[in-house]
Structure 1
Amino acid sequence: MKVGIVGATGYGGVELYRILSNHPHVDECILYSSSEMDVPYTQSFPHLNNLSDHRLKNIDVEEMKKNVDVLFLATPPGVSSKLSPQFINSDVKIIDLSGDLRLKQKSVYEQWYKRECVEEEILEGAVYGLSELNKVDIANAQLLANPGCFPTATILGLAPVVKQKLIDEKSIIVDAKTGVSGAGRNASPGTHYSEVNENVKIYKVHEHQHIPEIEQALHNLNDSISFISFNTHLMPMTRGIMATIYVSLTETTTTEKLLDLYNEFYSNSPFVRIRKDNEFPSTREVYGSNFCDIGLKVDERTGRITIVAVIDNLMKGAAGQAVQNFNIMNGFEETTGLYFAPIYP
């Protein structure tokens, strides 16, 4: 198959290239950029010297329609809204890594992203690609919205207890932490080394654009859920997301029973790993991989659960899950090109 990557000079784009350039079903990988054109890819990424002879190409929709089977949009918000509608009813499958197609209501997108959205008809036609929860629709998708990094960790952490209606739907509190690569490759004052090093910073308090995405997905699992409390913190590390989730139980249960529930729920999900009793994951243990590791414990004293879910934000939170969806969409084994160990130490 021939695949294209729009936004190949960003962190998500180069991570896609790393995976797809070794994928057994990818014959050619075409790289597109609006910021750098007709220059060697290695000029932006010297670590690819002797591994890539690609040159960056200008974005040309008609050329893409002729030469690409699947197009990955690893672009900032707003770009996919302009590009993806041009491929509707074409033979090209679209996998959008931005947030442009994830929300089903145009007004909600515009409220949280502060920009204009595609028409609601296109939003309704886009399949939400949380691989573990939506495989049938993903397999038949032509236009796919790849989930955000925080939503992936949070939703996977909560899905079993939400689906089984074991928790108070108004009690969900998420304390999420991320590495600096989640802010993208372009420099900003808040991501300079001297600002991030030896520092932990909360940001977008109650205003993060991933909040409605999480609420939408949880509502689809349990329509009693409308709102969550969610906040994010920037950590002095390159990669990784940890979502620490606090929820109140509606009935008495034990950690052992909940671990059994999670293991059963994710029994056909090769990239979700459930920890044993009293074991909790760290971001280092999924670094560079497509795994989501989950640990949990019931606080019998308060009747609450603490759930910890970790992912690599550039892998399971972006490029890795995009390739997992690429596999499902094209009838390949979903682990193809992705089933490798995290980098350690």
Structure 2
Amino acid sequence: MKVLLLSAYDAGSHRRWRRGLVAALPEWDWTVLTLPPRYFSWRVRGNSLSWGRGEAAKILQQPHDLVVATSMTDLATLRGLVPSLGGIPAAVYFHENQFAYPRSDRAFQSVEPQLLNIYTALAGDLLLFNSEFNRSTLLDGARQLLKRFPDHVPPAICDEIEQKSRVLPVPLDDSLFTGPAPTATGPDRDAPLEVCWAARWEYDKGGERLLGILQGLEEGQVNYRLHLLGESFRNSPGEFATIRREFAHRLGRVGFLPDRRQYLEILARSHVFLSTAHHEFQGLAVMEACALGCSPLVPDEQAYPEFYPVTSRYRDVREAVDKIGRMAAGTALCPSPDFSGYAWQRLAPAYRDCLAGVASMS
């Protein structure tokens, strides 16, 4: 089967997903087009123009049996610019949706990214979501947005989207599960609790919540070491600079680690993986940490309740501080959920069945 795979904003998790998908289904003939993850507003609105009238236009016009696109792809417009694509079945993978993002004071507020989600969902024949939280927030958000428009809003748009959607998580690398199953263990006597935090240093990842937790740990004289990992940017929130300055005595590794092996080694030797994110549609970093034996500690919101027991979740900064303090004091760590069922080798058959099924619609 000839498959055209379109990743319109090929950020880290999107890139790993589409590479994993191609590797998991090697019997299919893949053609992959990507666009770099920068200039967000232009990319999500202009990808159809870049591809449909750019150098890739000839590739799009070639015969394919199936189109697989990420939700950043403006599939409706692209099918209009390249009419031959309209006759090819299309599956859309939603890593995220534009309805559940926390608002930033620095971002220009527009409903256009949300409308693009709706148009792409309507243009696809199969919609795959990485979590039920992702699926339900798109549907709820779309219903609320459509109610705001004054007239000529067709009924049952969201019903149409819901009927062709299903949840299929982003798989984890098989290599995370090749050794014996790790067990969560606490620090040795008098040794610090090793805590890992890893995410983009941006407003939606909860820098202010992390700062509040660290301040609480200091007040409680908790013995811990923090590995503060992730990519920083010129406009990263000031809380991260404050953490580096005021908690330097608590920091282990800091910043982005381009060597993935180094990153996984830090996860493997950490006791706790802490998330403070204000939006998360699946949370691959936490799942990877669990696969390597970390105890997860995540907010009691977003997608996390789907994947983690209440003992691994916190409702506010105070509860997070209390749980970390008890773990540092020698209380048994919460067991890591078993995510071996999320390995590529376990989920590849489900991907094959879903995509082959939509391809047979032609």
TM norm. shorter chain > 0.5? no
For the pair shown, the structure with the greater C-alpha radius of gyration is 2
- Classify the TM-score, shorter chain: 0.3 to 0.5
Structure 1 length normalisation: TM-score?
0.37
Bigger proportion of residues as helix = 2
